[in-house]
Chains A and B, each alone.
Chain A
Amino acid sequence: MPKWGLSMESGKVTDWLVAVGDELTEGADVCEIDTDKIAGELESTWTGVVRALVVGVNESVPVGGTIAIVAPAEVPQEDIDAVVAEARAQLESGAIEDVSGPKVLTVDVEGRQLSYAVLGDTESGNDPVLFVHGYGGDKNSWLFVQEPIAAGRATYALDLPGHGASSKDVGDGTIQTLAQAVLGFLDTVGLNRVHLVGHSMGGAVITLLAADPAATGKVASLTLISPVGFGPEINAGYLRGFAEAESRRDLKPHLLALFADPGLVNRQLIDDLLKYKRLDGVDQALRSLVQNLVEGDKSAVDLTGELASFGGPAVAVWGREDKIVPAANAAGLGNAATVHIVDGVGHMAHMEKPQAVVVAIREALGA
């Protein structure tokens, strides 16, 4: 049972999408899982044969509990049976230790408290990955992506200033200020060389950071998901509407633009965003960011030069149905990044088709 989000303690398989005997490949849908926060499809990061389903539909399973066994076909059935029996015994005793979850920490960077979630082996020797969310997002938005990437390396998901559990002061609200905060974070936490993954406004932040002479040698690669800064097209109405919305009724129509499938905008998502927006200082922070992101109805940020001056490996993922930062902007990346346009996905590829983002990050890691 994966841990999708910091508060998740258990989940239920609501539908198995594989059967015993099926050949499993990476990226295949394994099952549908429902938590008290979110429902989603578990995508395979394993290859082999589905040898056993350990839990039944709608059975509550703690995070870290074994739900199915995948193994090569040649593993003898009695070995599989023994593993299933052990997994069942563990589930029934309740003795499952949740060691999989990220640790949430806070660090002071030049007077701002920055909150972040660490997952994976900080002693692995591999360069860590830092995730930077977009406008109005937070570290939890990486819930489907952070866990698979954390296999064999440390990963950090940051709350930018003005977001999540970090200080709400965004200074002048420019991308430059946010990039400096991220750079300060790297220095304070002692991350000397990182792979950066940024979504939307976070993509602009990491690109600007990567081009900063002070960051020379620190950035191993960039993975950009629907990044801001590479073309004039941007949904200014969404950015302003999100900042100004005061009620569920005001907010919902804007959120529908985020995903290709509007059904993903559920009550929990709206409630969580409203709770965030109602924290002191958030609306002011968002308004300040919007002023710097758009001019009229066009993007006010151009980072094509910065991406070129970075010159390192860069991979981009764009949802073909992105209604916030349209995929047409991908042309602005030119040859500076490998671009993957994903069908049936809107602005939130890392939530709508996490496997595509995982593959893109691995491509950047391996480059």
Chain B
Amino acid sequence: MATRKLSYREAINEALRQEMERDPSVIVMGEDNAGGAGAPGEDDAWGGVLGVTKGLYERFPGRVLDTPITESAFIGAAIGAATRGMRPVAELMFIDFAGVCLDQIMNQAAKFRYMFGGKAVTPVVIRTMYGAGLRAAAQHSQGLYPVFTHLPGLKVVLPSSPYEAKGLLIQSIRDDDPVIFCEHKAMYDMTGDVPEESYTIPFGEANVVREGDDVTIVAMGRMVSLAEQAAVELESSGVSAEVIDPRTASPLDLDTILESVEKTGRLVVVDEASPRCNLATDISAQVVSEAFGDLRAPIKMVSPPHVPVPFAQPLEDLYIPSVQDIVNSAKTVTEWSQ
């Protein structure tokens, strides 16, 4: 394993490049992936709105496709191509745009394997950006991954670091089911050690990011690094926190969470998505149902308020769960007494 530092953006780009080299059925399609408005006559000007696919167009002529600004059409086309033997990676620029192509995802891709009695596979990956923090307002900042987690037939991936992003994306491309691959738009410049070789990280296996004894903190995507910072802060006040990154919202590795709660007796779930029917409520409900006897305090959920993501900068900053919110919740449950 030869590793070097890559950004989250570079790690995703490298995963795409290595899989396109390995497997000619892998194609990339989406808005501005090849050319891009604002740069007349220049190919590969943008590489997607935040430059993730840059460089692929020249390396793989004919396999990186610009699409019209019509998600219903190109997400549908990607799903159709997947059923006919291609492995398309479609870029749904912002997860907020899922509304216009939800039928293709929810009623078609997610259902094919089941409704065709296991005879059909749909190996499509939909890469999509989520999350607040970029001053992009309420229609470009949501964390809608719980919507997809709700739907049987889809796999939902939330990579929390460059290492995770590369391995999980390669796994997503090789997987025979539709995968919603959720990239946090504020993480693209985060760097970390990434192996040069291709590798995969299996779905449904949580990563114990840090071991601890007093409280379990479950966090996904961008919230993992916040939870790690909170754990460092908690350690200085004598609280030993275990941080668990489930990596995939669907399938969910509940066993690892339950084993941890069995040890710590206390749970904080951090979720950047809107607080009603999100992953925090889902995980909390399952832990209460399976491990009520192990809990020594109520579960605390750290989520934003139930409002659209604000555009005003101070309000957006307040909206996003913070390290301090996580520390406070962890202290609440560790100091709990009846």
Footprint of B on A, CB under 8 Å? 7, 104, 115, 138, 164-165, 168, 246-248, 267, 275-276, 278-280
Q: Can you list, as one digit per residue, whether each of B230-252 has a CB less than 8 Å from chain A (1) or not (0)?
A: 00000000000000000000000
Tally of contacts, chain A with chain B, CB under 8 A = 36
Closest residue of A by beta carbon distance from B167: A278
A278 in contact with B208 given A164-B1, A165-B2 (CB within 8 Å): no
Taking the closest CB of chain B, its distance from the CB of A263, in whole angstroms, is: 13
22 contacts between A and B (CB under 8 A): A7-B193, A104-B2, A164-B1, A165-B1, A165-B196, A168-B197, A246-B202, A247-B202, A247-B205, A248-B205, A248-B208, A267-B208, A275-B163, A276-B1, A278-B167, A278-B199, A278-B200, A279-B1, A279-B197, A279-B198, A279-B199, A280-B198
Complex A-B, nearest 7 residue pairs according to Cβ-Cβ distance, in ascending order: A165-B2, A280-B198, A278-B199, A279-B199, A279-B197, A276-B1, A247-B205
**Prevailing SS type, chain A contact patch:** loop
Residues B211 and A275 in contact, CB atoms below 8 Å apart: no
A167–B1 CA distance with the chains assembled, in angstroms: 10
Closest to A281 in B: B197
Binary per-residue interface labels of chain B (211-235) against chain A in the complex, 1 for a CB within 8 Å, 0 otherwise: 1000000000000000000000000
Please indicate the chain B residues that have their CB under 8 angstroms from the CB of A247 in the complex. Answer: 202, 205
- Evaluate contact between B205 and A278: CB separation under 8 angstroms: no
A104 and chain B: residue at smallest CB distance: B2
- Render B61-78 as a binary contact track against A, CB cut-off 8 A, 1 for contact: 000000000000000000
Q: Contacts A115-B2, A267-B211: A280 and B205 contacting too (C-beta < 8 A)? A: no
When chains A and B are docked, how far (Å) is the Cα of A138 from the Cα of B3? 14
Q: Which of B2, B3, B201 contacts A278, CB < 8 Å?
A: B201
Query: B195: CB under 8 A from chain A?
Result: yes
12 other A-B residue contacts (CB within 8 Å) besides A165-B197, A275-B1, A279-B198: A164-B1, A165-B1, A165-B2, A168-B197, A267-B211, A275-B195, A276-B1, A279-B1, A279-B197, A280-B197, A280-B198, A280-B200
A267 to B208, CA, bound (A): 9
Query: Chain B residues near A104 (CB, 8 Å)?
Result: 2
A247 to B202, CA, bound (A): 8
User: Closest B-chain residue to A106, C-beta based?
Assistant: B2
Smallest CB–CB gap between B21 and chain A, Å? 12
Could you give, for residues 142-183 of chain B, a 1 whenever the CB lies within 8 Å of some chain A CB and a 0 otherwise?
Answer: 000000000000000000000100010000000000000000
Cβ–Cβ < 8 Å partners of A168 in chain B: 197
Separation in Å of the A35 CB from the closest CB of chain B? 15
Residue on A with the closest CB to B201? Answer: A278
A106 to chain B, nearest CB (A): 8
* Binary contact track B184-208/A, C-beta < 8 Å → 1, others 0: 0000000001011111111001001
Q: What residues on B are CB-neighbors of A138 within 8 Å?
A: 1
Does B202 lie within 8 Å of A275, measured CB to CB?
A: no
Question: Which residues of chain A are near B208, meaning CB under 8 Å?
Answer: 248, 267
The distance from the CB of A363 to the nearest CB of chain B, in whole angstroms, is 33
Please name all residues of chain A whose beta carbon is closer than 8 Å to the beta carbon of B2 when the two chains form the complex. 104, 115, 165
Contacts of A279 in B (CB 8 A): 1, 195, 197-199
- Chain B residues with CB under 8 A of A164: 1
Complex contact A275–B205 (CB within 8 A): no
Q: How far is the CB of B246 from chain A (nearest CB, A)?
A: 14
Q: Which residues of B contact A280 (CB under 8 A)?
A: 197-200
Most buried by B among A138, A168, A247, A279: A279
The smallest beta-carbon distance between B196 and chain A, in angstroms, is 8
Give Cα A9–Cα B261 distance, bound, in whole angstroms: 35
Q: Which of A138, A267, A275: most chain B CB closer than 10 A?
A: A275
In the complex formed, the residue of B with least CB distance to A138 is B1
Q: Which residues of B contact A248 (CB under 8 A)?
A: 205, 208
Task: Provide the residues of chain A in CB contact with B201, threshold 8 Å.
Answer: 278
A7 to B2, CA, bound (A): 11
Chain A residues contacting B3 (CB-CB under 8 Å) are 7
Q: Report the Cα distance A313→B210, complex, angstroms.
A: 47
CB B82 to nearest CB in A, in angstroms, measures 22
A167 to chain B: closest residue by CB:
B197
CA separation between A275 and B200, bound complex, in Å? 9
Nearest residue, chain B, Cβ from A113: B2
- A42, chain B: closest CB distance, angstroms: 25
Most buried by A among B2, B193, B198, B202: B2
Nearest-CB residue, chain B, relative to A164: B1
How far is A168 from B199 in the complex, measured between Cα atoms in Å? 12
CA of A115 to CA of B196, assembled, Å: 13
Return chain B residues, CB-CB under 8 Å to A7: 3, 193
- Nearest A residue to B193 via CB reads A7
B199 neighbours in A (Cβ, 8 Å): 275, 278-280
Residue of A nearest to B211 (CB): A267
Distance in Å from the Cβ of B235 to the closest Cβ of chain A? 13
Q: In the complex, what distance in Å separates the CA atom of A168 from the CA atom of B163?
A: 20
> Within the complex, what minimum Cβ distance (angstroms) separates B165 from chain A?
14
* A56: min CB distance to chain B, Å: 18
Contact string against A for B residues 81-102, beta-carbon threshold 8 Å, 1 for contact and 0 otherwise:
0000000000000000000000
How many angstroms from the CA of A7 to the CA of B4 in the assembled complex? 10
Query: Please, how many angstroms separate the alpha-carbon atoms of A278 and B167 in the complex?
Result: 9
Question: Could you tell me the distance in whole angstroms from the C-beta of A252 to the nearest C-beta in chain B?
Answer: 11
Q: From residue B3, how far is it (CB to closest CB) to chain A in Å?
A: 8
Q: Which residues of B contact A246 (CB under 8 A)?
A: 202
Bound Cα distance A164, B2 (Å): 7
Complex Cα distance, B4 from A165, in Å, reads 12
Q: Could you tell me the distance between the alpha carbons of A165 and B163 in the complex, rounded to whole angstroms?
A: 16
